Every structure is written in C-alpha cells, then in structure tokens.
C-alpha cells in the first residue's frame, strides 16, 4: 500500500463514480479499478459496493475514509511545518473560532504570541461549530474558541472568560429610564437575535437565558452579523444583545447599551481541544495567555 492507493481510494470515495474519479486523477478507469482491487485485497476488506445503481462505500470503506483523511491532514501539516522551519519559524498553531467569538482579548493574545514566541505562526480561522469540531477531531485545528461547551466525546471545553450580556436598545426606547434592564421587562418587546445556523453556540447560550423565564420571546429577525443587528435596533425593529467586551468594539448611532439586571446573564467563552492528543505546540502556554486576558480586564 502506498500514497497512490490512498489518493485513488479517497477520490473515488468522494466521487462515487469511476469515470469522474479517473478524470480527476488523470488516469484511465481500468488502472483505477486495478488500484482499488489491490487495496481491497491488501486490506482484506471490501471498500465499495458496485451494482447497477452505482458505487457506494461499505461500512468498512466509510471508516477507512475517515482514517485516510487524517493521514492526508498529517501529511499536509508535516509539509507546512517543514516549510515553516525552513523559513525560520518553529511551527504553526491552528486556532478555529466559531459562533462569532471574536473578542478584543484575542488581539492582546496574538500580540503576546508574536512578541514572546515569534518563531511560532498562529493561524486563526472562522468556521461553523460543526466544522470546528470536525477539524479538531481530524487534526485540521489544534484548538478552538467557542461560546458553547456542548461538544462531542473526546473534545474538552475549558472556560476562558465569563462576560455579562448587555442589552442593545434604540436611542428612544422606554426601557432607557432604567440603569439596568430586567429580563422580564425586556421580553415585552420584540428581539433581534443572531442566526442559529451561523452562530449556533452563541444562539444556544442566549436562548437558555431568554427562555428561562418561561415566556416565549417575540423574535422579529435572525441576523447573520452584529452590524445588521445594530442597524435594525437603531431603526427601532427590536432589542438586541451583545457581550460586554464586544460593546467596546462597536459604536453605532442611535443605539444605547444597558446592562441586564441579572447576575446570571453571562456568556462563557470556551477553549476547545482534543482529549489526550499529544501536540508539538506549547498549548499550555497559549491557554495561559488567553486566560490571563480575563484577569487584566
């Protein structure tokens, strides 16, 4: 078995069509069929079911595909690390951010990394919760940052920061007579919330707080960005929400920030990592730096 067998297998597993797979690999169908047969004989397992209805992965083929993908990820990372060392760095730390968990403390974190360990390149990627977890399991990402601890087995979620959730109100809203806004009062007005498909973890955390009073909130819109939420709130469509650190990033006309009169209205940011995975990167030091940003608030 060599890398040629694995590439042929992975391509056919993606296409599930010998003709298209052979075209992608720039070979004829017969060499592809021969390669797959050699691989199955060496493994002692059938990887594909072939009949008049087409080509499908067997259960063994599906399991093998997951492992083959990890092999390719490892190969890719080995190449990147070699290039990084040759270019004068010591390696790459891949950080996946989901739920829109972009925080001002990340800037301080990255600045510390660049100053203290410039030989390690930090790559930040924004992604969905599902893709973040998939990438952690496959090795595409070393660590993740998210607003949820509802993760799969094998993934550890460690709290980094807990921040108050603030209400975002139109400039002429009746609740502005209060220095702190009670949740039960707030739920009398329509809400502008984030899109649960785009910011799944954040939406889940916020929903637990809003639905805890046993009343069904009236949601006028689910938005895909903070900027759109602020625009709709400023226009009087409804009330929005934002964590305290993020209110320091955004300034928007005709919008006022008020704290919620609830000590339980907190948003937790989590560091995600795979349990038991040995890494060549000093993740403990990076985690320490991230947590230190909370102490400096």
**pLDDT at site 233:** 95
Which two tokens mark 241? 């929400």
Q: How far is CA 176 from CA 219, 259, 262, in A?
A: 20, 11, 16
**pLDDT at site 54:** 85
**pLDDT at site 110:** 81
**pLDDT at site 111:** 82
| All domains of the chain in start order, with CATH | 3-69 (1.10.10.10), 88-159+268-295 (3.40.190.10), 161-267 (3.40.190.10)
Cα–Cα distance measured from residue 224 to residue 242, given in angstroms and rounded to the nearest whole number: 14
Cα–Cα distance measured from residue 39 to residue 65, given in angstroms and rounded to the nearest whole number: 13
- The region that residue 54 occupies, defined by phi over 0 for left and psi between -120 and 50 for alpha, beta otherwise, is left
Cα–Cα distance measured from residue 142 to residue 174, given in angstroms and rounded to the nearest whole number: 47
| pLDDT tens across the length of the chain (297 residues) | 788 899 999 999 998 989 999 999 999 989 999 999 999 999 999 999 888 888 899 999 988 888 888 788 778 767 776 776 666 555 678 889 988 787 778 877 788 777 877 777 788 888 888 889 888 888 788 889 999 888 877 898 988 889 999 999 999 999 999 999 999 899 999 999 998 888 888 888 898 888 888 878 899 999 988 899 999 999 999 999 999 988 888 888 999 999 999 888 999 999 898 887 655 555 666 766 666 655 554
């Amino acid at each position: 078995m060599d890398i040629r067998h694995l590439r042929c297998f992975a391509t056919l597993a993606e296409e599930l069509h010998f003709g298209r797979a052979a075209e992608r690999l720039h070979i004829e169908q017969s060499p592809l069929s021969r390669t797959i047969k050699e691989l199955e004989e060496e493994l002692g397992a059938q990887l594909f079911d072939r009949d008049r209805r087409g080509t499908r992965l067997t259960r063994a083929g599906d399991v093998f595909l997951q492992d083959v993908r990890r092999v390719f990820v490892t190969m890719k990372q080995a190449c990147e690390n070699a290039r990084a060392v040759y270019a004068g760095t010591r390696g790459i730390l891949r950080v996946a951010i989901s739920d829109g968990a972009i925080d001002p403390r990340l800037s301080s974190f990255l600045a510390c990394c660049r100053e203290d360990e410039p030989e390690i390149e930090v790559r930040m990627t924004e992604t969905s919760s599902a893709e973040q977890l998939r990438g952690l399991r496959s090795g595409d990402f070393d660590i993740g940052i998210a607003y949820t601890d509802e993760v799969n087995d094998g993934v550890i979620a460690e709290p980094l920061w807990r921040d108050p959730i603030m209400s975002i109100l139109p400039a002429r809203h009746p609740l502005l007579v209060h220095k702190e806004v009670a949740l039960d009062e707030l739920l009398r007005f329509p809400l502008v919330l984030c899109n649960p498909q785009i910011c799944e973890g954040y939406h889940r955390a916020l929903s637990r707080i809003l639905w805890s009073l046993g009343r069904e909130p009236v949601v006028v819109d689910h938005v895909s960005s903070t900027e759109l939420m602020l625009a709709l709130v400023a226009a009087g469509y409804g009330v929005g929400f934002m964590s305290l650190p993020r209110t320091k990033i955004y300034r928007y006309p005709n919008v006022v920030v008020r704290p919620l009169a609830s000590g339980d209205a907190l948003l937790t940011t989590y560091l995600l990592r795979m349990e038991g995975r040995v890494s060549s990167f000093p993740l403990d030091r990076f985690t320490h730096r991230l947590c230190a940003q909370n102490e400096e608030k």
